[in-house]
Structure 1
Amino acid sequence: MGTDHGAIHLAHLTTEDARAAQRAAKVALLPVGAVEQHGPHLTMLTDARIAEAFAHRLGAELGSDAIVCPLLPYGLSEHHERFAGTLSLTPPTFIAVMLDLVASLKAQGIDKVIIVNGHGGNIDALSLVVRRARSELGVLAASMMWAKLADDVCAEEAAGPAYGHACELETSLAMVLAPELVKVERIRPATVRSGLNPISAPHGQVDIAVRFDELTEDGVYGDPTKANTETGERILTSALQRAVAFARRFLHSGTVV
C-alpha cells in the first residue's frame, strides 16, 4: 500500500489509503530539488533525484510515522542560468509554494514537516520557510540537506578546497542514490577558474552573488574524476544516520529542541 522498503509514499496511495496513513503519521517528508545544469556528466534533475532518494531512505527508516510527499523538482537556480537547461523559480514564488504545501499538509492533519532539500541554492529560502511555517501556520518544520548533515565527511573526502557542485562528492552520492543520473564516460578533470578570492568563493566568509560561469568553465565546481561509490556510501551513511536521529527526536517531541 504505497510502500517502498518500508517508506509510505503519498503519490502511491488512494484517498482511502491516505486517510489511514495520515492518521498514523507524525511527520511529512517533503523532498525539493532544482532543475539545473550539472556539468557534462550529470543530468538536470541531479539535485531533485538525490533529494527524492534521500527522502525515500529516511521514510523507510521512520516507517508509518512518516509520509513521503511527491518531489517538488524546481528550486532557486538563477546563478546557473547561463548554462543551458537550467529552469528556476524566483525566491518569492519558491517560498510561497513551499508555504502553500506546508499549509495544505496541516489542513490534512499533519503539523510537522521535514523538508528534504537537495540543492544548496535553496538553503537560505528554506530557512525562511521553516521560520514562517511556525510563526504563521503553527507548523513545526525543519529543513535538511545531505551536504550539511555530512559536512565533516564531505570536507574529509573533498579532493581540494573547491567543491560543492557536480564535484567528487555529489557525483559519488549520485552513483549510490541515483546511478542512472551519472554519465561516467563524460566525467572530465576539473575546470575551476583560477584566481578566485577565497574569502568570497563558495565556503568563504563573505556572501556575494556569484554566477557559476564565473567559477567554472563547464559548470562543475570540484573534481568529479575522484568520484567513487565508496565515498558516496560514506557520505550517505553519515547523512542518513544524522537525519534519522534528528527526525525521531523531532517527531516524538513537543518542541523543536
Structure 2
Amino acid sequence: MIEKIRIAELTSEEARQELTSEAVVLLPMGSLEDQGIHAPMGDYMAADLMAMEIAKAAREDGVPTFVAPVIPFGGKDYFESSHGGISISHATLCGILDDMFGCLERHGIRKLMIVNGHGGNVPAITEVALRWRQKAGLFIPSMYLWQVAYGELPALIGADKAKASSGHGGDPLTSVGLHFYPDLIRADMIKPAPTGSEIKGMKIGGFSSVVYDGAKIQAPIEALEATETGAYGCDPTLCSAETGDVLVKRLAAIGAGLVRDHVAKGLHD
C-alpha cells in the first residue's frame, strides 16, 4: 500500500494504481465561521485532520483508505453573521457533493464515507446521499464528528464536566483544536459563554430558537444575536489538550471501525 494518504498528493498514475474498487475514500467537510473568539474559524481543518487520523487507523487494519480534499465552506445557516465567514447555499453544496460522488463513481470508486464537521452540512449530505443510493446503489454513511463527540465525552471526562464544557465554542471543538493546532488557539481570549441574551423581548434558547412560556420556539435569529463571543451554553475554560487527545483517539477508533467493518465491505444496494 502506498504511503500517501491524501488523494491530492497522488500522481495520476498512482491514482490509477491505488484508487481501485477496493479503496475507501473519506470525504471531509466543515465550515468557515465563528467557533468562539478564541478559536480559528476554519473548523474544516479539524475535520480534515480527523479524516487523516481515521484513514491511518483504518490502514493499520489493512484497509486501503484515502482522504479527498476537504470542502472548507459550510451550508448556510445562522452563522452567516460571522465576520469574515464564508458559507454556501444548500443548492451549491448539494451540487458539489453530487459532482464529487459522480466523479468517483465513474471510476469505480464506490466505497465512500463523509467525515463532517458542520451541522449546516447535514441537510445537503442527507439529500445527496439518498439520491445516489436511489440512482446508483451507493450507500454513503456520514460521521458527524461533533455529534458523535457529544455522546462520547461523558464517558471520557465525566458527565458533570462534559455537561459544563460542551457547547458551541467549547467542547468538543476547542479541545480538539488544542490537540491538533494549539498555536492557533488564543488562550488569552477563552472565557465562559455569555448568558441571558434576548431578542424582541424573548429569551434566546439557542442559535435558532427563543423561549416562550417554557417552550422552545424556532425563530430566524443569527448566531451573533445569541452570543457576542461565539460560545453558547458552555464554559470553554474547561477545555484542554488532554481532552482533545482522548477524544481524537476515540473518534478515530469509531471511524476506522466503521470503515473496516462496513464501508470496506461495500455498502451497496
TM bin, normalised by shorter chain, reads: 0.7 to 0.9
- Report what 1:95 is aligned to: 94
CA displacement 1:199-239 (0-9 Å, x = unmatched):
957xx987655421232122112221111112212322322
- Contact 1:31 1:72 (8 Å CA) reproduced: yes
Shift of 1:192: 3.8
Shift of 1:256: 6.6
What RMSD in Å do the two structures reach over aligned CA positions?
2.7
- Report what 2:222 is aligned to: 211
Aligned partner (choices 183, 186, 204) of residue 183 of structure 1 = 186
Which is strand-richer, 1 or 2?
2
CA displacement 1:69-111 (0-9 Å, x = unmatched):
1111111143112221111100011011111101111112201
2:74 counterpart SS class: coil
List, as ranges, runs of 4+ consecutive aligned residues in structure 1 with deviation greater than 6 Å: none
Structure (1 or 2) with the larger CA radius of gyration? 2
- 1:181 aligned partner, one-letter code: L
Structure 2 CA distance for aligned equivalents of residues 245 and 113 of structure 1: 14
Structure 2 CA distance for aligned equivalents of residues 208 and 66 of structure 1: 42
- Contact 1:2 1:10 (8 Å CA) reproduced: no
Structure 1 CA distance for aligned equivalents of residues 268 and 249 of structure 2: 24
Higher mean C-alpha deviation, range 192-201 or range 70-79: 192-201
Larger relative contact order (Cα-Cα within 8 Å, sequence gap ≥ 6): 2
Shift of 1:55: 0.4
- 1:36 aligned partner, one-letter code: E
- Report what 2:200 is aligned to: none
Structure 1 CA distance for aligned equivalents of residues 104 and 183 of structure 2: 31
- Report what 2:131 is aligned to: 132
- Contact 1:48 1:73 (8 Å CA) reproduced: yes
Higher mean C-alpha deviation, range 189-198 or range 232-241: 189-198
TM-score by length of 1: 0.86
Q: Does residue 31 of structure 1 match 2:28? A: yes
Q: 1:25 to 1:254 in 2, by over 3 A?
A: closer
- Report what 2:3 is aligned to: 3
TM-score by length of 2: 0.82
Point out where structure 1 has 5 or more consecutive residues left out of the alignment: none
2:112 counterpart SS class: strand
Q: 1:138 to 1:210 in 2, by over 3 A?
A: farther
Structure 2 CA distance for aligned equivalents of residues 208 and 26 of structure 1: 44
Q: 1:184 to 1:85 in 2, by over 3 A?
A: same
- 1:176 aligned partner, one-letter code: H
Q: 1:52 to 1:96 in 2, by over 3 A?
A: same
- Aligned residue pairs total 250
Structure 2 CA distance for aligned equivalents of residues 158 and 209 of structure 1: 29
Aligned partner (choices 239, 243, 253) of residue 255 of structure 2 = 243
Q: 1:192 to 1:241 in 2, by over 3 A?
A: farther
- 1:184 aligned partner, one-letter code: A
Point out where structure 2 has 5 or more consecutive residues left out of the alignment: 198-202
Structure 2 CA distance for aligned equivalents of residues 54 and 97 of structure 1: 21
Shift of 1:40: 1.5
2:231 counterpart SS class: coil
